[in-house]
Amino acid sequence: RFLDGRVCKSAFSYTARLAMVQRTAEADMVRLRKYEIPIKRVARNLCLDPALIAAVISQESRAGLLLDNGWDRDQQKYGLMQINRQQYQRSGVWDSEDHINQGSTILVLSINEVQARHPTWTLDRQLR
């Protein structure tokens, strides 16, 4: 990132960020249980790890905790996976299986794009 023409280094190492993400996911676990069945169905249909979908939901909306009737504070992103309203027409109610499927499909397309651009990267790096 650039700030005033200087390159800024992250205040946290990858390991520290990973630990923070894990703590957040653990705190969101009770809310995520509500979506366990739709997450697993979508994951199975898209050949994704359900934990990856749950992690995105946790990071994007804290499993719905940060949302107001499905919207972020600025009313620009919608749903558990925070789909940008300017880029995509929303599918389903903000916490529905349809919407989880839409967000997960976007995730798969993004992963495929990174893999195509960086075929020599490990899967772990591609996912990051």
pLDDT digits (tens, 9 = 90+) for 79-121: 999 999 888 888 889 999 999 999 999 999 999 999 999 999 9
Angle at 124 between CA 122 and CA 128, to 5 degrees: 120
Report the Cα 4 to chain-centroid distance in Å. 30
User: Tokens at residue 16, please?
Assistant: 């520290």
What the chain holds in terms of domains, given with CATH numbers, is: 9-127 (1.10.530.10)
Name the residue among 88, 83, 102 with its Cα closest to residue 45: 102
Summarised one tens digit per residue, pLDDT across range 66-76 is 999 999 999 99
pTM above 0.85, yes or no: no
* Residue positions annotated with a catalytic role: 60
Residue 84 DSSP code: E
